[in-house]
């Protein structure tokens, strides 16, 4: 992409750009809006995967969606084929790391959904992602996250925690599946890693579509054996094919095009906090579609989560007239 990332993003991602980009007015589809749109759609992944035919391993369902969506991202993004050759050695290593992280996400997330349920797995994975992103950014660049990010993330993670623990606090919750929780946490770490890698490469001036196309296309090849070995005939049924089509085209291809576009003007730490809208959507769908029950305390957690997202997403003061978000 052109070097039109915000000066904040350039600093947050290592200050790779040698010249300060000229500020441009952020239109309605710049920054948080496409990321929030993607988050809402991502909130449907757990519910969609639960509708797959019985007997299909959860990891195979997620991997199948990644194979379809990842190949679409690679084939449709201009510059994907030439990007590795245009990168420096360090950037190619970042691409490889991001590819591994992308491949790891569905292999950890969908089994977590199967073990802990849609709402809990999504909340843990996405609630942990901004924490991992902020800490990784701090450790790798020795820069502290902004106070605004820390406040919004703390509120959002608190809301996620109350949402998850709500049934137990209300006295009617089932025991938490430890392996499912660990798997969801690994999914959150994977997401944070590839969000940071993608953001850094985009800040270096590479096209967001090409960066995500290479990472997701490579990840599609990595997880293809999981599909071939574990899917069986379940995904070849009409129901299975529809689930894979939705996961691949909507929640992978479309959502990550939106996400990559949003990363052009949004720091990865901020992006991962904004995507905490996903567990809220997942929890509501779990109640409305799958019959999961949330007590009043969990709904209070959802409210706190929403306040944290709004605080981060909506510009205040002089930022309302600026071209970027913190």
**How many residues are present in the chain?**
326
Question: Which tokens belong to 304?
Answer: 């706190």
Q: Is the pLDDT of residue 126 over 50?
A: yes
Q: Of the given ranges (46-55, 123-132, 316-325), which has the lowest mean pLDDT?
A: 316-325
Q: Is the pLDDT of residue 315 over 90?
A: no
Q: Is the pLDDT of residue 309 over 60?
A: yes
Question: Contact 76/208 with Cβ under 8 angstroms?
Answer: no
What does the DSSP 8-state code read for residue 19?
S
What pLDDT, on a 0 to 100 scale, did the predictor assign at position 322? 37
Which residue shows structure tokens 């590795």?
84
Q: Is the pLDDT of residue 1 over 80?
A: no
Closest CA to 118 of 46, 191, 45: 46
Q: Is the pLDDT of residue 22 over 80?
A: no
What does the DSSP 8-state code read for residue 79?
T
In angstroms, the CA 109 to CA 122 distance is: 8
Q: What is the DSSP secondary-structure string of 190-219?
A: HHHHHHHHHHHHHHTT--HHHHHHHHHHHH
Cβ neighbours, 10 Å, residue 24: 12
pTM for this prediction: 0.73
Half-sphere exposure of 80 (CA within 13 A, CB side): 17
Phi then psi dihedrals of residue 162, to 5 deg: -65, -35
- What is the average pLDDT across 22-49? 73
What does the pLDDT look like over 234-259, one tens digit per residue? Answer: 788 888 899 999 999 999 999 988 88
Q: Is the pLDDT of residue 15 over 80?
A: no
Report percent pLDDT > 70 for the chain.
78
Task: Give 163 or 199, the one with higher predicted confidence.
Answer: 199
Q: Is the pLDDT of residue 7 over 60?
A: no
In angstroms, the CA 160 to CA 152 distance is: 12
Q: Is the pLDDT of residue 2 over 60?
A: no
What rounded mean pLDDT belongs to the chain? 77
What does the pLDDT look like over 175-221, one tens digit per residue? Answer: 667 788 889 889 989 988 988 888 889 888 898 889 989 999 999 99
Question: Contact 291/119 with Cβ under 8 angstroms?
Answer: no
What does the pLDDT look like over 130-150, one tens digit per residue? Answer: 778 777 877 776 566 677 778
Confidence of residue 323 (pLDDT cuts 50, 70, 90): very low
Q: How far is CA 157 from CA 98, 123, 176, 241, 303, in A?
A: 24, 9, 18, 35, 12
């Amino acid at each position: 992409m052109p070097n039109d990332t915000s000066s904040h993003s350039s600093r947050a991602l290592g200050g790779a750009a040698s010249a300060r980009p000229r500020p441009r007015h952020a239109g309605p589809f710049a920054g948080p809006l496409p990321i929030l749109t993607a988050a809402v759609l991502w909130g449907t992944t757990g519910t969609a995967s639960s509708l797959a035919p019985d007997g299909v391993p959860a990891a195979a369902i997620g991997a199948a969606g990644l194979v379809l969506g990842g190949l679409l991202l690679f084939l449709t993004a201009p510059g994907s084929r030439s990007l590795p050759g245009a990168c420096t050695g360090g950037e190619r290593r970042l691409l490889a790391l991001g590819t591994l992280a992308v491949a790891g996400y569905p292999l950890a997330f969908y089994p977590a959904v199967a073990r802990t349920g849609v709402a809990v797995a999504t909340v843990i994975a996405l609630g942990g992602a901004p924490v991992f992103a902020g800490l990784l950014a701090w450790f790798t660049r020795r820069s502290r996250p902004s106070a605004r990010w820390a406040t919004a993330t703390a509120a959002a993670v608190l809301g996620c925690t109350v949402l998850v623990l709500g049934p137990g606090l209300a006295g009617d919750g089932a025991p938490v599946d430890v392996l499912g929780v660990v798997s969801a946490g690994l999914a959150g770490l994977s997401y944070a890693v590839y969000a940071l890698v993608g953001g850094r490469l985009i800040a270096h001036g590479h096209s967001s579509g090409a960066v995500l196309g290479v990472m997701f296309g490579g990840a599609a090849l990595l997880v293809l054996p999981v599909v071939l070995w574990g899917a069986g005939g379940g995904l070849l049924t009409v129901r299975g094919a529809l689930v894979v089509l939705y996961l691949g085209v909507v929640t992978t291809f479309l959502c990550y095009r939106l996400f990559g576009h949003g990363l052009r003007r949004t720091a990865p730490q901020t992006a991962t906090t904004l995507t905490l809208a996903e567990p809220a959507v997942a929890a509501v769908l779990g109640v409305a579609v799958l019959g999961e029950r949330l007590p009043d305390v969990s709904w209070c957690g959802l409210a706190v989560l929403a306040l944290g997202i709004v605080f981060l997403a909506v510009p205040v003061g002089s930022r309302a007239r600026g071209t970027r978000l913190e």
